[in-house]
Structure 1
Amino acid sequence: MVADAAVLSPTLEHVTARRVTNVPAPKDLWSLAPLIAGQPSYRSGRWIRGKFQYPGTPIQISAALPKGPAAVLVHGADGSVTTLCLDLDTSKAAQAVVDGDAERLGSLLASCGLRYVEDLSPSGGRHLYVPLCERMDGAEARELVEALARLAPSLDASPHRNPSTGCIRVPGSVHKRGGHQELVTPLSAAYEVLRRRNAPEAIQRLRRALAPELRRNRQEGARRARGHVARPQPQAHGALPAAMPHPSGGWQSPLRAIAETGLYDTARYRSASEARMAVLNHLAACGWTLPQVRGELTGQFPGLAALYQSGSQLERLLEREWVKAIEFTANSARERSTRKSDTSLTEPTGGAKASAASIHQLVNDLENVLYAVLDARFQSLGREGIGLRFLLRGVLAYMRTMETNVLDVGCRAFAMALGQHHGTVARLLRRLSELSDGMVTKIADARHRNADVYLVELPEQHRQTARDLTWRQGKIHAIRPVFRALGPGAALAYEAIERSRHFPTTAEIARDARIARTTAEMALAEMAGYQMIYRDQERRWHVTATTSLAQLAHRLGADADVAAQITLHRLQRAVWHAWLDRHDPGQQLAEADLYDPETDEHWIPPGDAASTALWHVAA
């Protein structure tokens, strides 16, 4: 089956071609309709109150080509499907994004050994048909298609959402604005693919490839069922919502929607140039670099690339516009700083400031004490102990990043690093001061906009332990965004592999991470499914170097959770600062100086800079 896929699946030339030579007649293409449909019926389409719909009683498919637009029913009478129908629509994303999505989905399907047929709409949309050897339950098919929509912003999953009315135009069908659906795959190859349909084993490979997206959709569905996430409301044709939802639900900031789809609100931005500058300004404010932006033009941000008229224009203007974005961000920061009180870190008093090298050595010693002594102590405290373990890791990570052992850090900044509520962090900070043997000591109370001040030092009773143990390689982290989705058990297990002095077994991971054996086994199995880690023939675990935790966090939706928490914290700070301003007339500050509902939805830059940027955004 996999070998046949290389011959029968559409090639890259087929995917990107705008037209094919020797196009068969529409009536010949219509003969594929019964091989695609879930039942041998179609619906005729017509305009109703300015919207094109497919109402009425289904009509039996015959050899004669319908004279008007016709869409075959995707589901059978029992709700099952025989073909996965992927509808890439230019009303959901720019043409360049649609073409890129078709290529990306085609590559994914081929890598899983799935063969498919592709057609092209006169409007520029594309359809990919994945025939199934065994009929699939409609709910399972919808789950798969909605997971694919996470990877392709232009994918409309609606044909698979309604078992009774879900339908799609097939090759040869008349388009609502004239013309016919054209087949991109050669007709003979299309017949072969639709007759020699895909085996269940290939579908299982696709499920494994879509594991992060499937998990994210299930979690969002559970939250919707509890009433925590509102379902997206239907929009008028051609309208762009103020905060465009993702194709399979949830919330999304307007600028991220522009960067993904290339569509923008013409009432706010008069041209594509203004829309892309808004996106670039925001990325610059979030700490991105030009190489990181370039790298995501074919990843997270195909819509940003589509806002340029051509590839040559992109190459000519991107660097120039990025310089403007950096200058705009710097000027905005200077303007705001003139109206804000000093919130810089508190400097040590009564002596010289510690050097950067001494701070890094101190953190290394403190890590040894953490792993050898405090982790075991906190383990006995249950759930609170887990919070204390990660809070102390966050303290050490902040020390290394800011190169100081005197921390003037608010609860909300630590809450960002831990994925916790700031009230929980406030309680944990007090407990950490009590239980850390003097490692973390509060030396000043919060006042006005300044947070509590803590001194972090190596306790006298643990100095010998710190010196006897060898420093560990790598960086220490609190909760990285991906582990907001996977949980603290996975974070500790991954750390045990990442920072181990050798490649550990499952038993060694459970011992070093100080978690239960069953918890370790479940976490390791899940991370292995996401290709974060792998086990060799000696049953020892390794980190998969080619898997990006930042990209996986994006696929699991953890980056959206980070952005939502940043937004909440900025709103809360705005309320607090407004209260301070009312009691200090000399420090007047507009709310827009602290929070803008569009531009303050942060994206954390990918790569090693992610943790550093998170601290700066949260502070």
Structure 2
Amino acid sequence: MVHGADGSVATLCLDLDTTKALKGVVDSDAANLRSKLSACGVTFVEDFSPSGGRHLYIPLQERLNASEARELVEALALTAASLDPSPHQNVTDGCIRVPGSAHKSGGHQVLITPLSQAYNVLRNRNPAASIAALRTALAPELARNHALRARQAKTATAQGTAAAHMLQINAGSETALRRTARTGVYDAARYKSPSEARMAVLNHFSACGWTLAQVQNELTGQFPGLAALYGSIEKQNRLLGQEWAKAQTWTQKSDPRERRGKYASINNTSPTQPTGGAPNLSSAAIHQLVNDLENVLYAVLDHRLKDRGREGLSLRFLIRALLAYMRTKETDVLDVGCRTLAAAMGKHHVTIARLLPALVDASEGMLTKVADARHKAADVYLIQLPEQYQQLARELTWRKGKIYSIRPVFRVLGDISALVYEAIERDRHSPTSAEIIRSSGMSRSAVEKALVVMEGLGMIYRDGRRWRISATANLRALAERLGAIEDYQAHISRNRRERAAWHAYLDRFVEVRVDESDLFDPEREEHWTPPDDAALWLAA
């Protein structure tokens, strides 16, 4: 039994189960857990079962109550696809098969750790400091579970079981193919073999715009299940390049943007091409214009928008999203839709549609609407530097770094954390807490709370009285650990479904051009000669 009579735990039991993932994933998870635990100074005992599963035991000097133990194991489960947290989720019946126990499939649990070392680990056990270091290392996963529980608590029903609840938490918005890539477990009713399953996964990644290098990178990262579907490293090295080429060919053939209909619409809604006038701005001119606009944003617009409360906070990020899109596309004429901006900002597209007119009014000529949306085309906006701010923009020094809308990690941490991080990242010197409060225009409690959270996640650190960005912090990896990438992908998928439904609705009202040749073929005899009266009489 894992829990004592009072529900407390003397040993954390990590069960890596082959029913949750393939054996290759179990071995990979075990190696990653060993590395993580050793880095935190945590000692453990390991064994393996005849079925290919593994157990890691972490003995404790000070017992943990059931909720604390469950919290740690569930956080570790987010880093290991094959880790089954259920032994710590059932206080009355949670149990685990210890080394030397008979296995149901035959054989016994075999101890991997040398016996003398295992005896020493179990005798000395792990101090509270080691468990605290482990909890610090798992801060993103702990925060993710807390947020997911709060979200699920709003919709949970009394009939839901704890196991189903945890399954929903762990699964989140993850797609079936991503789950296959993570665990190696696939739907046998849909895919007849591992070959078909991994081709489906590769097709999915190709359609999402991945490169072969990115896929190879994640085989030892967040998607070890895809590597396990190959069976061996030799087979993986031999087939991955060929199968990726097939996936790219299939994706290009099935891309709806490459399809061409037989008939063209009579009502052409494509944007008209310029026929004269001023030439388009060069790439260098666009980047210079964005830099000048950023100066006006930080010096004037931010301070005016901060007085508008929550709406002002959203407007500040909306103008940042437009400037980031402008720099990426290298154009001052933007025809980006509300759903695209909503995905970039982590908002609802209805909110974006409400904020855009407000931003046009508040920007004092920086953002101007020049064309209304028509058919499948979005509203068109022009971004320019107002004349009254041109001298100010030239006098101020350009800031280092890039401007962002909302990076995925801040979809979880919130808009205030994003502004605080930007204030530290793009300031001309490392700011103090008072300077961040003054420049961001937010309350002291909100800023200090954001600083504490980001410091706990290792994103920033305090150097005396000043705050600096941690050079070792990887925001994308942190976003994956917090579940923000899954949320972003779910948002993109939802946008695609809604956009496809809207386009299908619009296509019902599109007239098609029908050529005369499609109604009549001059080489085909279509004249019908009626029979004469004699033939009709004989037939009767």
> Could you state the TM-score of these two structures normalised by the residue count of structure 1?
0.78
| Amino acid in structure 1 at the alignment position of 2:57 | Y
Segments of structure 1 that go 5 or more residues without pairing to the other structure are 1-72, 236-243, 588-619
- Structure-to-structure mapping, 1:186-585, within 5 angstroms: 186-227=114-155, 248=170, 250-333=172-255, 336-339=258-261, 350-536=277-463, 538-584=464-510
Deviation at 1:304, TM superposition (A): 1.0
Contact 2:148–2:169 at 8 Å: present in 1 too? Answer: no
**Relative to 1, partners in 2 of residues 1:323 and 1:581: Cα closer, same or farther, differing over 3 Å?**
same
Q: Distance in 1 between matches of 2:239 and 2:329?
A: 35
Letter in 2 for 1:371: Y
Letter in 1 for 2:321: G
Cα deviation per residue 1:110-168 (whole Å; 9 max; x = unaligned)? 11111111111000000000011111111111111000000000000010111111111
- Whether the 8 Å CA contact 1:232–1:245 is kept in 2: the answer is no
Give the structure with the larger helix fraction.
Answer: 2
1:326, distance to aligned residue in structure 2 (A): 2.2
**Is residue 112 of structure 1 aligned with residue 34 of structure 2?**
no
Residues 119 and 184, structure 1, Cα contact 8 Å, conserved in 2? yes
Following the alignment from structure 2 to structure 1, what is the Cα–Cα distance between the partners of residues 269 and 21? 42
- When residues 343 and 180 of structure 1 are mapped into structure 2, their CA distance, relative to the original with a 3 A threshold, is farther
Kindly indicate whether residue 89 of structure 2 is the aligned counterpart of residue 161 of structure 1.
yes
SS, match of residue 515 in structure 1: coil
The alpha carbon displacement at 1:510 in A equals 2.1
Shift of 1:227: 0.3
Cα distance in 2 between the residues matched to 1:546 and 1:557: 20
**Structure 1 position 132 matched with structure 2 position 51:** no
C-alpha displacement at 1:512, in angstroms? Answer: 2.5
Q: Report deviation, 1:531.
A: 0.9
Extract unaligned runs of 5+ from structure 2.
Answer: 514-540
Deviation (angstroms), 1:296:
1.3
Kept in 1: contact 2:152–2:169 (CA 8 A):
no
Q: Which letter does structure 2 place at the counterpart of 1:555?
A: R
Counterparts of 1:190 and 1:514, CA distance in 2: 56
- C-alpha separation in 2, matches of 1:348 and 1:491: 39
- Give the conservation status (yes or no) of the 8 Å contact 1:232–1:250: no
SS in 2 for 1:381: helix
Larger radius of gyration: 2
What SS does the aligned partner of 1:309 have? coil
Counterpart of 2:528? Answer: none
Deviations 1:259-310 (A, max 9, x none): 1001111222222222112212221222222222222111111111111121
* Aligned-partner Cα distance in 2 for 1:450–1:186: 67
SS in 1 for 2:96: strand
Tell me, yes or no, if structure 1 residue 88 matches structure 2 residue 16: yes
Residue 516 (structure 2) aligns with: none
Q: Hey, what's the Cα distance between the residues in 1 that align with 2:107 and 2:215?
A: 39
Q: Report how far residue 322 of structure 1 moved.
A: 2.0
Cα shift at 1:233: 9.5
DSSP 3-state at the match of 1:481: coil
RMSD, matched Cα: 2.2
Per the TM alignment, residue 583 of structure 1 is displaced from its structure 2 partner at its CA by 1.6
Shift in CA distance, 414/343, structure 1 to aligned 2, threshold 3 Å? farther
2: CA distance, partners of 1:327 / 1:336: 12
Provide the rounded CA distance (Å) in 1 between the counterparts of 2:387 and 2:372.
Answer: 25
Decide whether aligned partners of structure 1 residues 582 and 310 sit closer, same or farther in structure 2, where only a CA change above 3 A counts. Answer: same
The one of 512, 527, 530 aligned to 1:586:
512
Structure 2 Cα separation of the partners of residues 336 and 165 of structure 1: 57
In the alignment, what sits opposite 1:151?
A: 79
Runs of 4 or more consecutive aligned structure 1 residues displaced over 4 Å after TM superposition: 228-235, 244-247, 334-337, 339-350
How far 1:247 moved relative to its partner? 7.2
User: Conserved in 2, the CA contact under 8 Å of 1:346 and 1:453?
Assistant: no
With normalisation by structure 2, the TM-score equals 0.89
**For the residues of structure 1 that align with 2:2 and 2:170, how far apart are their CA atoms?**
19
Aligned partner of residue 255 in structure 2, secondary structure: helix
Q: Is the 8 A contact 1:155 1:247 kept in 2?
A: no
Count of residue correspondences: 506
> Is the Cα contact below 8 Å between 1:483 and 1:491 reproduced in 2?
yes
Give the SS at the match of 2:390. helix
